[in-house]
Amino acid sequence: MARRIAAGAAYGGGSIGLLGAAGVGVVLAEVQLAKRSVGGGTAPVPPSGDGWYGLAFGHTEPLRMGMLGDSTAAGQGVRRAGQTPGALLASGLAAVAERPVDLRNVALPGARSDDLERQVSQLLTEPGAWPGPGPGPGPGSASHRVPDVCVIMIGANDVTHRMPATESVRCLAAAVRRLRTAGAEVVVGTCPDLGTIEPVYQPLRWLARRASRQLAAAQTIVAVEQGGRTVSLGDLLGPEFAANPRELFGPDNYHPSAEGYATAAMAVLPTLCAVLGLWPETDHLDAARDEDMLPVAKAASAAASRAGTEVTGVRAPWALLKHRRRRHPLPSPAEATPAEATPEDPGTEDPSAAEAHEVGREA
């Protein structure tokens, strides 16, 4: 099904929906019941995590990182910038690279995949998109506007708003292709498993899980084919959330809490570092962790059912399935917002630098 969705997107087909007609009828009834439980609290407006991370490593030319996607990428549900996934990833990346990271987050709560075109344009062409201290290219140069790496987290709203899967993955493929053409590396955190949300009951739970995994697998296929890497976030709201729902869900019972975002960031960080050549790479496949070389469609299907799985294109139609080891959860994120040194205050320190170093050391 994922291959059919991807093929439909590539050739302009639009008849393959996320759910069958019978399923939609059941979902519509179940959604009305779920709405009474989900969203019972109010998720805080996500704080801006834009800025420099890792200034303890000096004021040298930073790695530029872009964050795109929906409310998950924006960090809705937490109150401090340092708790958002973008800030956690930027801190971890700075620690591993031992150089500052300039984060620009253009993710929008409620966004679907058709908003990615706007977000990519904002990231690549907006004047002054990469402000910050230290030397570097001027704001008018192309290199000033092109990030070194971008992380995309998208898909949940596509499922809940019943956006046709072919249209969804077509928009994602276009965004990845555009970023790769501009020279940025791309890591896609695929659609989380919405069937794991605590207040959702059967049969909506089963249908949501099926739709989420189909979309995640199709996202993997098109992202890898466009030169990106993917990390499955299927269990972003999965077993760890089910075991600790009060700790890992936010106040609205839908978005993750700070601990939940830290869990997701730990899954993405190794791939983020690897795509920039900062993580040890080997052709050796660890059979004990079910790593394998598979046709991309089979690799996508396997990744969709196991969180933290990376899929990397090797040579069409083959892809590498990797399960990068996660030893411990991320340490508690810094409470302060990212530091931004200015010409008037060139010595400003990043308050999360020490913890960022610890993140990299743990990872």
pLDDT computed for residue 193 by the predictor: 79
Cβ-based burial of 104 (10 A; exposed 0-12, middle 13-18, buried ≥19):
buried
For 72-112, write each residue's pLDDT tens digit.
899 887 888 898 999 999 999 999 999 999 999 999 988 99
Q: Quick check: 276 and 63 in contact, CB under 8 A? A: yes
Domains: count for the chain: 1
Average pLDDT, the chain: 75
For 153-209, write each residue's pLDDT tens digit.
999 888 888 889 899 999 999 999 999 999 999 999 998 877 666 555 566 666 777
Q: For residue 323, give the nearest of 257, 258, 274, 262 by alpha carbon.
A: 274
Catalytic residue among 50, 59, 71, 148: 71
Cα within 13 Å of Cα(358), Cβ side: 11
For 14-43, write each residue's pLDDT tens digit.
545 544 444 555 555 555 444 444 444 445
Cβ count within 10 A of residue 344: 6
Confidence of residue 353 (pLDDT cuts 50, 70, 90): very low
Exposure class string for 319-340: b at 16+ Cβ within 10 A, else e: bbbbbbebeeebbebbeebbbb
pLDDT computed for residue 256 by the predictor: 73
Active site residue 71: yes
How far is residue 92's CA from residue 269's CA, in Å, rounded to a whole number? 7
Q: At what angle do helices 85-97 and 258-275 cross, to 10 degrees?
A: 40
Residue 330 has pLDDT above 60, yes or no: no
Residue 149 has pLDDT above 60, yes or no: yes
- Specify the residue for token string 């001027």: 138
Tokens of 14: 């639009």
Confidence of residue 307 (pLDDT cuts 50, 70, 90): confident
Confidence of residue 242 (pLDDT cuts 50, 70, 90): low
How far is residue 59's CA from residue 4's CA, in Å, rounded to a whole number? 48
Catalytic residue among 48, 114, 252, 305: 252
Q: Which domain holds residue 209?
A: 2-362
More confident residue, 360 or 76: 76
Residue 62 has pLDDT above 60, yes or no: yes
Distances in Å between the Cα of 124 and the Cα atoms of 4, 86, 89, 110, 120 are 31, 18, 20, 21, 6
Tokens of 305: 């059912």
CATH of the domain at 237: 3.40.50.1110
- Specify the residue for token string 């939609």: 24
Residue 363 has pLDDT above 90, yes or no: no
Confidence of residue 344 (pLDDT cuts 50, 70, 90): very low
For 256-302, write each residue's pLDDT tens digit.
777 778 888 989 999 999 999 997 776 677 777 778 888 888 888 88
More confident residue, 328 or 287: 287
Catalytic residue among 59, 158, 212, 255: 255
